[in-house]
């Protein structure tokens, strides 16, 4: 384990000096994934194709102990999963300890990682790798940038770059998915919902633009990875996890539509979600029974945007055994629904149908 000293000094009296350990496990170069030469697919460092068969285990690092993580990962490996999406600073709270009782940060300050918490994440990432499973890391959930109403939080203009650099330095080569359950362009969702309840009138709310914070986080990650890999040209696979909320006048929920002009966005993403809306949803490109629609749209966007071809993934589809729309009054998605959706998201037959929709 290597130790490096970090000095921070906000005010002379509050200045602090502490040690940050670098990762207990050094991520091997072979971990890296990049886009294939035509921009559409994933490839490994030896240029062989990589098939992204992902599972979302958002709370893997937070809720499971080592034995449970091993049981879960060995099960996923036996079923052919190649990647697991998991979160560093999770949605269950900055003040909520992991199974060993460790918190992510000292004094809830995202620029002061608590070594024990991240060392445990290192050990699970290493364990996953021993099963041939990569981790796609969500450094922090969306609520730490802003809440539903649009109030800022702890990952902000002061802290995002430093936190990003810590993540990049410690977890080079892991694909990164910036935040979740939110979009970089936002309206006051609380107010929109209140208005719906009060009669369905939707006034135009002021759009908030959180993209500068995303940029800080992403630029910190890229800087950290370039430093630790001594590769000044390295760009990790990185995307955002847009949610399906659709507000008037804002781009649809594809990473490329919301923040597509950034060089750090090296992968496109959508969320086909957990809800069936027969026959059609209120929001375009959002139906858990038709995941090929947003996936096909991303494929088409990548094809037509010069210099911006990117591999695309559906970051969050229906979960096996989760109720439709999360409501127990409805049916739940079963294993064959999930398999069908997976197939539809990669099958040329279905992606071709999506092209027809785009052209129509
Ligand atoms: C994890 O928790 C289970 C109980 O759920 C326990 O049996 C097991 O020993 C624990 N493993 C570790 C490494 O603490
Ligand atoms: C950013 O978050 C930190 C806590 O992590 C807080 O102390 C600081 O006031 C916030 N800064 C801004 C500009 O909101
Ligand atoms: C969002 O809307 C809620 C409810 O109308 C309101 O109380 C709150 O102040 C708004 N937040 C912002 C950041 O404007
Ligand atoms: C799974 O659910 C679908 C409806 O979503 C149903 O048509 C199918 O029969 C179910 N399959 C199994 C094996 O239960």
The pLDDT tens digits of the residues spanning 270-319 come to 999 999 878 776 666 778 998 988 888 888 876 666 667 899 999 999 98
Q: Give dist(CA 323, CA 167) in Å, integer.
A: 34
pLDDT band at 167 (very low <50, low <70, confident <90, very high): very high
Least confident of 147-161, 254-268, 291-305, 330-344: 291-305
Mutate to test the pocket of ligand 4, among 336, 339, 340, 344 (most ligand atoms within 8 A of CB): 336
pLDDT confidence of residue 213: 98
pLDDT tens sequence across 172-221? 999 999 999 999 999 988 888 888 777 766 666 788 999 999 999 999 99
Q: What's residue 5's pLDDT?
A: 38
- From 333, 328, 299, 336, select the one nearest 316 (Cα to Cα): 333
Over range 27-45, report the average pLDDT: 94
Ligand 1 atom 2 nearest Cα:
65
**Of all protein residues, whose CA lies closest to atom 13 belonging to ligand 4?**
336
DSSP 260: T
Average pLDDT of the chain to the nearest whole number? 88
- Residue 302: predicted pLDDT: 66
Question: Model confidence at 56, in pLDDT bands (50, 70, 90)?
Answer: very high
**Higher-confidence position of 102 and 293:** 102
Q: Give the HSE-up count for residue 69: Cα atoms under 13 Å, Cβ half-sphere.
A: 28
Q: Is the pLDDT confidence value at 7 over 90? A: no
Question: What pLDDT was estimated at residue 224?
Answer: 98
- Any residues with Cβ below 6 Å from ligand 4, and which? 334, 336-337
- CA 210 to chain CA centroid, Å, is 16
More confident residue, 350 or 101: 101
CA atoms within 13 A on the CB side of 211: 13
Tell me the two tokens of residue 139: 């450094």
Instruction: Identify the structural domains of the chain with CATH numbers, from first to last.
Output: 5-359 (3.20.20.80)
Q: Which of 151, 186, 187, 188 to mutate to test the pocket of ligand 3 (most atoms within 8 A of CB)?
A: 188
pLDDT at 256: 92
Q: Give the number of the ligand closest to the Cα of residue 208.
A: 3
**Mean pLDDT across 10-34:** 67
Chain Cα centroid distance, residue 208: 20
The CB-side HSE value for 31 (13 A sphere, CA atoms) comes to 26
């Amino acid at each position: 384990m290597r130790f490096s000293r970090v000095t921070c000094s906000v005010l002379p009296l509050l200045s602090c000096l502490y040690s940050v350990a670098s990762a207990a496990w050094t991520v091997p170069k072979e971990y890296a994934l990049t886009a294939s030469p035509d921009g559409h697919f994933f490839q490994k460092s030896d240029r062989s194709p990589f098939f992204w068969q992902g599972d979302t285990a958002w709370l893997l690092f937070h809720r499971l102990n080592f034995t449970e993580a091993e049981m879960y990962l060995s099960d996923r490996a036996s079923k052919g999963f190649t990647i697991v999406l998991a979160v560093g600073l999770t949605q269950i709270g900055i003040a909520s300890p992991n199974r060993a009782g460790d918190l992510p940060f000292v004094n809830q300050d995202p620029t002061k990682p608590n070594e024990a918490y991240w060392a445990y994440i290192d050990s699970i990432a290493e364990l996953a790798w021993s099963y041939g499973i990569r981790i796609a890391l969500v450094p922090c959930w969306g609520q730490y940038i802003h809440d539903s109403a649009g109030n800022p939080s702890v990952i902000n203009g002061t802290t995002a770059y430093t936190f990003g650099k810590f993540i990049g330095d410690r977890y080079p080569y892991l694909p990164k998915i910036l935040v979740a359950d939110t979009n970089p362009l936002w309206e006051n969702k609380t107010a929109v919902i209140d208005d719906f309840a009060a009669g369905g009138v939707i006034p135009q709310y002021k759009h908030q633009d959180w993209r500068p914070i995303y940029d800080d986080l992403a630029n910190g990650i890229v800087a950290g990875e370039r430093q630790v890999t001594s590769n000044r040209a390295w760009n990790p696979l990185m995307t955002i996890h847009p949610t399906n909320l659709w507000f008037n006048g804002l781009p649809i929920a594809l990473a490329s539509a919301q923040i597509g002009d950034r060089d750090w966005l090296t992968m496109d993403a959508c969320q086909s979600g957990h809800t069936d809306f027969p026959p059609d949803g209120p929001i375009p490109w959002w139906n858990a029974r038709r995941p090929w629609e947003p996936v096909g749209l991303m494929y088409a966007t990548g094809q037509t945007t010069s210099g911006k071809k990117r591999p695309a993934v559906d970051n969050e589809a229906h979960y096996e055994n989760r109720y439709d729309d999360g409501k127990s009054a409805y049916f739940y998605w079963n294993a064959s629904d999930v398999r069908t959706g997976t197939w539809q998201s990669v099958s040329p037959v279905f992606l071709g149908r999506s092209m027809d929709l785009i052209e129509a």
